[in-house]
Amino acid sequence: MKKSACILLLVLLSHFLLAQPAHQVKNLKITILSTMLAQKGMGEWGFAALVEADSVKILFDAGSHEKTVLENSKLLNIDLSQVPRFVISHNHWDHTIGWMPLRNEISRTNRQALSVTHVGKGIFDTRLTETGGDETKMRQDSALYVQSGGKIITHASFAEISPGIYVTGPVARKYPEKNYDQRWQKKDAAGKTVADIVPEDMSLIILTAKGLVLLSGCGHSGIINTITQARDHLQQETVYAAIGGFHLLQNSDEQIRWTADELKKAGIRYFMGAHCTGIEPVYQIREWAGLKRGESVVGSVGATFDLVKGFTPGALAR
Ligand SMILES: [Zn+2]
Ligand SMILES: [Zn+2]
């Protein structure tokens, strides 16, 4: 073949490869395993949810008591021994207390269960307690996790962890959403005390034909900052569903109005505010984003989101 024809072929091939559309998840079910509201099982100040996306299973966050996710899973007939991975959204105790106990308990049945954990860069940084002491529990747990045969994958940026399933990595704080306590402090790499904006806070993003589905732990990065990061990386403008904790409980009406307006612009169809979202913000978002009853609900233990059926919120939240 002539050199020019060869180059043309290579150019065409690279165009073809670049034009390959991103993989879209076809079947998706998300089940809430830890949050405050519970009709069946135990409620707690915490968060965890099981993601079943095509053949992939991920446990997102681990609850705030050692046994909550374990017991609620049994009650809901969910077999965690078939779940190979965790995604842990951020360092806070209400998402991480169950991490090592779950790994220890479930790996007795299957060594490979919950043996990989995805986290955002900064999660193991030293935090300061209210009395000024060093908080290093996550770092201690990470050593135990590795000792147990577990593998930790730390993400410094947006990454695809399975076809069509992404972690945002630490989220750029483009908009002034400050959905965290501004008194929190941490130590930087040089050991100096600095404000703790929870830099590692990351969410899970699932790409579907209907748009993006966002699963958030506490939403400290801000829901709009988080979807902005996902949209920038995925060339998908529509946010079909947002589920999880969004830490809107201390926001003013104006801030929630802005959030609802941005979600409406993004084409949101389903909103489930669990954990630290706050109850009233769920209804404000329902009204201001133009959603109906059943489309914007308070998350409860056992509540599900299905790509085809939408929410099954449970009788109490319906
Ligand atoms: Zn938190
Ligand atoms: Zn939380």
The pLDDT score that the predictor gives to residue 13 is 61
Contacts of 59 (CB under 8 A, 6+ apart): 33, 48, 49, 50, 51, 69, 80, 83, 85, 86, 87, 102, 114
Q: What is the dihedral of CA 95, 313, 234, 48, to 10 degrees?
A: 10
Residue 121 CA to ligand 1 center (angstroms) comes to: 15
Cα–Cα distance, 34 to 99 (Å, whole number): 13
Distance 104 CA to ligand 2 centre (A): 23
User: DSSP class of residue 207?
Assistant: E
CA distances from 38 to 148, 298, 314 (A): 32, 11, 9
Q: What are the CA-CA distances from residue 118 to residues 57, 85, 159, 286 (Å)?
A: 13, 8, 10, 32
Task: Tell me the residues surrounding ligand 2 (ion) with CB < 5 Å.
Answer: 94, 218, 276
The per-residue pLDDT for range 62-102, each reduced to its tens digit, is: 999 999 999 999 999 999 999 999 999 999 999 999 999 99
- pLDDT number for residue 24: 96
Element (H, E) at 5: helix 3-18
Residue bearing tokens 């935090």? 127
Q: What is the 3-state secondary structure (H, E, C) of 130-178?
A: CCCCEECHHHHHHHHHHHCCCEEEEECCCEEEECCEEECCCCCCCCCCC
User: Positive or negative CA dihedral for 233, 235, 239, 240?
Assistant: negative
How many whole angstroms from 194 Cα to the centroid of ligand 1? 17
The one-digit pLDDT tens for each residue of the chain (318 residues) are 566 666 666 666 665 555 677 999 999 999 999 999 998 899 999 999 999 999 999 999 999 999 999 999 999 999 999 999 999 999 999 999 999 999 999 999 999 999 999 999 999 999 999 898 999 999 999 999 999 999 999 999 999 999 999 999 999 999 999 999 999 999 998 999 999 999 999 999 999 999 999 999 999 999 999 999 999 999 899 999 999 999 999 999 999 999 999 999 999 999 999 999 999 999 999 999 999 999 999 999 999 999 999 999 988 888
Buried-exposed string 133-148: b where 16+ CB fall within 10 A, e elsewhere: eebeebeebbeebeee
The model's pTM = 0.94
CATH superfamily of 25-305: Ribonuclease Z/Hydroxyacylglutathione hydrolase-like (3.60.15.10)
Cα–ligand 1 centroid distance for 47 (angstroms): 10
SS3 13: helix
CA of 92 to the centre of ligand 1 (A): 5
Type of residue found at 126: T
Q: What residue spans define the domains of the chain?
A: 25-305
CA 46 to ligand 2 center in whole angstroms: 6
pLDDT in tens, 203-212: 999 999 999 9
The label of the residue with tokens 């599900």 reads 304
In this structure, the strands spanning 134-135 and 151-155 are unpaired
d(CA 65, CA 72): 12
| Ligand lying closest to the C-alpha of residue 245 | 2
Which numbered ligand comes closest to the C-alpha of 34?
2
Neighbours of 290 (CB within 10 A): 13
